[in-house]
Structure formats: C-alpha cells, structure tokens
Structure 1
Amino acid sequence: MNDRDSAVAQALELVGARFPDALGAVLGGSVARGRATAGSDLDVAVLLPDAETSRREVIRHEGRLAELFLHTRADAPAHFARDRALRRGTILFVYDQGLPLTDTVGHMAELREHARAVIAEGPPPLTEAEWFRGRYVLTCFMDDLTDHPRTDRYEQLALADFTLREAVHLLTAHHRSWTGIGKWLPRRLLEADPVRGRALLEGHRAVAEHADPLPLITATGQILDLVGGPLREGYTQPWTT
C-alpha cells in the first residue's frame, strides 16, 4: 500500500469511527494533490445530518493530525459563501479537489458540484473603498521599504513580508483570482499571474538572501501601476462607530 492509499484508509477509518451517521466525506489537502509529506495532516470534509452542528475540528487519529471540516446540508451553502468572501476558498477547494471517501445517497456529490460552481464564479470583486485602501497600504509599505536602512534586517524583513502580502492581495484581486496564506500564497499567486507573481517572489527572496529591496520595490511598483498607481496624499478613510 502506497502513502496515498494508506492516507485514504486512515481517513475512511476516522470517518467511520467518529461519524458513523455521516452522509458523505472527501479527503482533500496535500494527500489528494499527491504532494503529501511524512508530516502532512489529513484534511477531511464530512457531511453530517442536519441535526448536527457545523464546525471545524483538529484531532489526532492513529498518531496523525487531521483537520476536519464538518458541515450539515443546511449550513454548507452559507459556509461556502463565507469562504468565497474571504477570497481564499479553503473549504471550497477541499470539496472540489478532494478524493471521495463516502457518499451514501449522493448528497456529497451535489455539494461538490455546488463548490465547483462557486469556484468557477471566482472571489467577489473589491469595492472601490477596498481598492483605495489596498493601494494606500501597499504604497506605504513600499515607501517604508525604499527608505529603510538595510542594516536593520529585522525591520527590513518584516516590511518585505507585508509588502509581498499586500501586493498579492491586489494582484489576485485584479485577476479575480483566489488568494492564499502560508504556502498557498505563492501557489495562488503564480496561478493568477506567473510573470508578475514570480517577480514579486524573486524580489522577496532578494531581500531575504541579499538584503536588496530594489527587485521587490520594482515589482511592487508595477503592481500599483496596474491597479491605478501609488496612493499617498488624498487618501481618506471614514471612521465607523
């Protein structure tokens, strides 16, 4: 039995042991994509009867961490909508790309089709206020990175991290593409825009390895030009109470 088959068997056993009344389940994450490592956890979406409570749980099963996305049929659409609003689609992609484990009467297949439809629609566009704020915030980080002394490496690295994050936010939004955090940030970035995305990542690497901010500053400036240009004076943000 190979590692993937072993993970599938573990996931099936987990679902059967902890959720005997489950209507269906899929195994997503690195295992489903064939990118699992020895330390990869099990990402399992489980469809529960409506009498249950939707939730997210992290457990350990047979020595292996498992992250469980537990939904009822009634609640799942609302969770999909929230996932779309966050622009990352974490749960949506588990349903869409996961390996089928169980599906007693076809409800899981219906939800997977729903998830695919939401993914195809893409994340919601940014509002005008969100575009303005994004441009202003990214301009601030780019300016700080430009003016900051290279000798203070702690602060320079922190600025590079925030500059990359905000640039990815705007670039993926420009393409109406999904974004991500952690290891998913570079993956989603390169899917959205291989050329500009790689320039941002290489720029961030230049700061990390050589204390050279210029490539990241240049790549960031190109992103700002793409979405309306840098924004400094003239920016206004109303306070809400």
Structure 2
Amino acid sequence: MSSKIDPLEAAHHFISTHFPYCQAALLAGSVVRGEATETSDLDIIIFDDTLVSSYRESFIESGWPIELFAHNLTSYRTFFEQDCQRAIPSLPRMVTEGIVLKDTDIVEDIKREANALLDSGPEAWSDETIELKRYFLTDALDDLIGCTRRSEGLFIAAKIGELTAEFILRTNKKWIGSSKWTYRSLEQFDASAARQLTYALEAYYQTNETDALICYVDETLSPFSGRLFAGFSRGKSNET
C-alpha cells in the first residue's frame, strides 16, 4: 500500500476521479471525528442523480482503504428508513457528521433530514418486545450460570453484554449500535452504566467470576419485573 496522504485531500481526489459530475459528496467516519487509528478507512458518501440505485463499494487509493456509499437523490431515504427501523442509524449519523466535499445546494436539506431522524430517536419498544427481550436475557443468563466450558462461556458473556446494552438503550428510546458502536452508544447515553457493564464483563473474562455480570443484568431487568421464563409464550393459538 502506498503512503497515506491527507484524508481530506485523498477524499477530494477520489471524488474528482470517480464521480466528477455528482451533485454532492461527504467525508464521514473516524477521521472526521478525530478518532482515526492505523486501520481506519475513509467513509465517503456521494449523491449522484445518474445512479439507478444505491450501492456500496470498497477501494484502496491514495494509501487509504475507502468505503463508498453511493446514492441517487432519493434512494438514500430508503436507507434512512431501514436504519431507523433497526435502531442503528448508520447513514443518518454519517450524513450528519460528514464534511462537505462537494455540494450543489442539496446537502443542507439532506443533513436536515438526517438530523431530524436522529433527534426523534427510534420507535419505542412495545410491551410485547420488552417481554421477548427479557426472555432472551433470562435464557442467556441461565446458559452462563450453568456453563461448564470456558470456551462457550466467552461467547455467552459477549452475547449477554450485547443484549443488555440493547435493552438499556431501547427501553430508554435511544439508538443502538453494532460492534464498537454498541459500547459507544451506551457510553453516550450513560457513561456510568457503560463502565459498570465493562467491569462486569472483565470480571468474567479475567477471573471466570459471573456474579458481577448476573447482578448487572438483574438490576437492568428489575424495573421491568425481572427475569422471565415461566409463563412466556409466543405463537400459541387460542383456538380449542
């Protein structure tokens, strides 16, 4: 790989080479947030009215891995909607934080749409969904409590961490994330809760001690009537 040039310069070069006639382009991601690492890439969003549909493509240019998110002037709204339905607003977040590389007086409106979605938050969980998630967390806890194989326990604990973070965020009508964004989303909402969950997971990973993680999950579930197993049912017909 060739030496990296300035990320903004690399992004401009990419746009001028591949999409010289696009209506707008944004640079988003860790380099924009000041969080870039040695393995960070450039997230570039383009809006081009000649595109039939949206697509995603990866490149390595100017020494940078580049993730391209290509949209026409309406297709991005489908992705906005899909992201909001799964409560992981990847594209709205990128658009909001993005640095303008090119604009023909359309970026302001698109950013306004993205900001409005982010500000409104995800749709609240129904009582039925909360019950289902309580059941999943209870089931995962039972697996951990009864686990006798360290190799399996590592994966169970990781799943409990994800489910618990999701439960906290979604019952508070907050956006969630995946991978590193799971923690970032929880930390943004409640830094203390994020630290406590990390501590509980570390306690298991380092010493095989499950008490802290079990206690954390029980405290999370407590305002929602705690664990759920007996009486849980889905799909049962009421017909006799």
- If the length of structure 1 is used for normalisation, what is the TM-score? 0.91
* DSSP-derived class of the 2:20 partner: coil
**1:176 & 1:4 partners in 2: Cα distance?**
40
Amino acid at match of 2:83: D
Alpha-carbon offset, residue 5 of structure 1: 8.1
2:22, 2:48 within 8 Å by CA — same for their partners in 1? yes
Give the match for residue 13 of structure 1. Answer: 13
1:50, 1:74 within 8 Å by CA — same for their partners in 2? no
**1:127 & 1:100 partners in 2: Cα distance?**
38
Alpha-carbon offset, residue 111 of structure 1: 0.4
1:87, 1:178 within 8 Å by CA — same for their partners in 2? yes
2:159 paired residue among 162, 175, 179: 162
Give the match for residue 207 of structure 1. Answer: 204
2:5, 2:63 within 8 Å by CA — same for their partners in 1? no
Give the match for residue 52 of structure 1. Answer: 52
Alpha-carbon offset, residue 51 of structure 1: 4.2
Cα-Cα RMSD? 1.9
**Structure 2 gap ranges (5+):** none
Alpha-carbon offset, residue 202 of structure 1: 1.2
Alpha-carbon offset, residue 239 of structure 1: 7.5
Give the match for residue 141 of structure 2. Answer: 142
Give the match for residue 126 of structure 2. Answer: 127
1:175, 1:192 within 8 Å by CA — same for their partners in 2? no
1:27, 1:100 within 8 Å by CA — same for their partners in 2? yes
Whether 2:88 is the aligned partner of 1:88: answer: yes
Indicate how the Cα distance of structure 1 residues 42 and 121 shifts in structure 2: closer, same or farther if over 3 A, else same.
Answer: same
**1:4 & 1:216 partners in 2: Cα distance?**
42
**Structure 1 gap ranges (5+):** none
Q: Identity, % of aligned pairs? A: 26
- If the length of structure 2 is used for normalisation, what is the TM-score? 0.92
Amino acid at match of 1:83: D
* DSSP-derived class of the 2:235 partner: coil
1:49, 1:72 within 8 Å by CA — same for their partners in 2? yes
Indicate how the Cα distance of structure 1 residues 50 and 234 shifts in structure 2: closer, same or farther if over 3 A, else same.
Answer: farther
1:26, 1:46 within 8 Å by CA — same for their partners in 2? yes
* DSSP-derived class of the 1:60 partner: strand
